[in-house]
Structure 1
Amino acid sequence: MSQLDADFAGFITLAVNQGETMVVNRQNQLIIPYQRYDRSYSTPVINGANISLVLLSINVPAWPNLGLDVTKTQLITLEGAGFPYSMGSAGDYFIVSTVKGTFRISPTGVYEKTYPYGLLRQFSYNGTVYGVTYANSTSLQLVASTDQGKTWSVVANQVSDTYRLLVYKQVNNLLIGMYNSQLFQLQLTATTLTPTELDNTNLFGNRITSVAAFHNTVYVSTLSGVFTKPLRTFLTPKKEK
């Protein structure tokens, strides 16, 4: 990386419960956040005021070739953005949300701040981007964008603080929340989110990092390995003790 940026200090990695650090858009482009050294001091220090990104354009060859070819590399700096809260993509665009606001980045690397507040979590569901944020209030809000992060509107003014702790994934047509070793099915309405706790037999004690479905099987990745479950029983509610 130092060959691309001589001031490279290190990659920024989000915690497991904050979501993915490296994000891919619909054009097979990838962004990775990193920090740079500020060399204006006698001893270089990490510039914590900005977020730098490397934008990679990737050629994905057809099967059976497994290698990925990087066709273009671009460096971007979000001036005064602070530290990232969450990262995601919406169609051709990237959404990088920070302590200083939410930025939309185009496939050409042009960025703009489209929301003045940081999204603690963000997720895409059926073509709409959602985020949870405290905005300028003491209550957690659910906001949404239907135009790939260009504009945002409030869906719910007051939702449970629990939703800032979840990681979200769309699995087929389902919205799934993850927290530690627990999975939730989330029903999204025009004004709120409603959770159903799912059976987590064999998952207890294993911290979930992601979930996906392929054919008739659901794959749950954890810090301890990958677990599988038949799709037909995936939505079995957790039994009350």
Structure 2
Amino acid sequence: MRHFLLSFFIPLLLVSCNKKELEEIEPAPPVIWEVHDYFLHNQRYISNLYSSDDKLQVMGMHLFSTISLEGGKEDVKHYVHPFQNVSHHKHPMNSKVFGGTDGDYLRFKTVSDPVLSGSGLLIEVATLDPLFREFSLIMSYSNESFAISENNVALVPYNFYNEETGRHSLRYLLVKLAVEKDVHNNDKLVLEETRILTPAEQGGVVRHMRSHQDNFYVATDWGFYKFSKEGEISFQMPHQIAYTSFDHKGEIYAFARHGTRQTHGLFRYGSGQSWSMDAQIGNSAEMLAYHAISDELLLASYNSQIFEVELGVDKLIVRELDNTGLEGHYITSIAMVKDKVYIGTHSGLFSKAAEHLLTYKEEEK
């Protein structure tokens, strides 16, 4: 077969060379990222995206929006949300609930009916903990401000007045929610339980939080911790400061750096219920934001650039993808719904068919 192909192409090459004017073959132009025309003007700022089944959830500066792809056609709905600090915090969502803060209050809303009476829940943390001083939310464009599990359990960091030291220290509020139906068959939120959790190491700043199954993983300046849904706290990796974690191919991974040595590593939570380092990596990995858009596909972003990330034992391969149409737009979130990929930025919502996602960026000559 190989010789047949060679014999087929060589005469074609000879014929082409005999032409006086060579015909240049133009490469097909890349499929650009298209801006969504329902998120223009003062609705361009996108803080967070979340995909579930055939629906995309969008957290904007002033609006919470849903895009349904049921039947293959987009159906966009906008709702006003109550959060005032979206420009500084990437508030979390799951398929039924989204949350955030409003001053010293913690707010949760249902995804299906966020503006109806009974769809929201307002918690004044100071009534639960009189020593509460302020929330200690993660201030980041890439990491969520706190964590909500798919089982509607939230873990929220805050500062309290430590009477023993006379200083502010770190605590967490564990909030268990339930989504039920009201008399009109609309979703309503019910507060089932709250717990105040005080870790042994009360200092430091929270850098990263995420939920995984029934647990939460929290990275602070003091280390990396696991919180169970029952409020149990266990120390995970001594001396390691994790700056992101994600699910990939059925396992949970974390990028972390050693607090004193300043070495960087890719860690994996194995079947032995312990963390092991799969690969040593450079410090440039910390500059990227990571987006697990499916269990098989991990992407990363830096400003307006996007990358495909391949993980493995002793390897971390990053390939830059074509970002035509995204130039100059700061990427905050990436999500995939069915066969469409969405990218949220500070200046618009963009999309592209998933079949064109893994188009690699050509090297500049």
TM normalised by structure 1 equals: 0.86
Structure 2 residue 180 is matched with structure 1 residue 56: no
Alignment coverage as a number of residue pairs: 234
Match of residue 2 from structure 1:
126
Structure 2 residue 198 is matched with structure 1 residue 77: yes
- The one-letter code of the counterpart of 1:55 is L
Residue pair 2:303, 2:329 contacting (<8 A) in 1 also? yes
Structure 2 residue 285 is matched with structure 1 residue 163: yes
Q: 1:113 aligns with which of 235, 239, 247?
A: 235
Shift of 1:111: 0.7
- The one-letter code of the counterpart of 1:98 is T
Percent of aligned pairs sharing the same letter:
29
Match of residue 193 from structure 1:
316
Shift of 1:107: 1.0
Match of residue 204 from structure 1:
327
- The one-letter code of the counterpart of 2:137 is T
**Cα shift readout 1:42-81 (whole Å, capped 9, x = no counterpart):** xx6423xxx211111122347x735433322111122324
> Taking structure 1 as reference, are residues 188 and 76 closer, same or farther at Cα in structure 2, changes over 3 Å only?
same
Give 1 or 2 for the bigger CA radius of gyration: 2
Residue pair 1:17, 1:166 contacting (<8 A) in 2 also? no
Higher mean C-alpha deviation, range 67-76 or range 212-221: 67-76
Q: 1:140 aligns with which of 261, 264, 269?
A: 264
Distance of 1:111 and 1:45 partners within structure 2? 22
Shift of 1:16: 2.4
- The one-letter code of the counterpart of 1:73 is T
Structure with the higher fraction of residues in helix conformation = 2
Match of residue 213 from structure 1:
336
> Taking structure 1 as reference, are residues 30 and 105 closer, same or farther at Cα in structure 2, changes over 3 Å only?
same
Residue pair 2:137, 2:206 contacting (<8 A) in 1 also? no
Distance of 2:356 and 2:174 partners within structure 1? 39
Structure 1: 5+ residue runs without aligned partners? none
Distance of 2:142 and 2:271 partners within structure 1? 23
Distance of 2:306 and 2:189 partners within structure 1? 32
Shift of 1:20: 1.6
TM normalised by structure 2 equals: 0.59
Distance of 2:255 and 2:132 partners within structure 1? 31
Structure 2: 5+ residue runs without aligned partners? 1-124
**Cα shift readout 1:161-219 (whole Å, capped 9, x = no counterpart):** 11112222211220111222221110112222101111222222222121111112111
Match of residue 29 from structure 1:
153
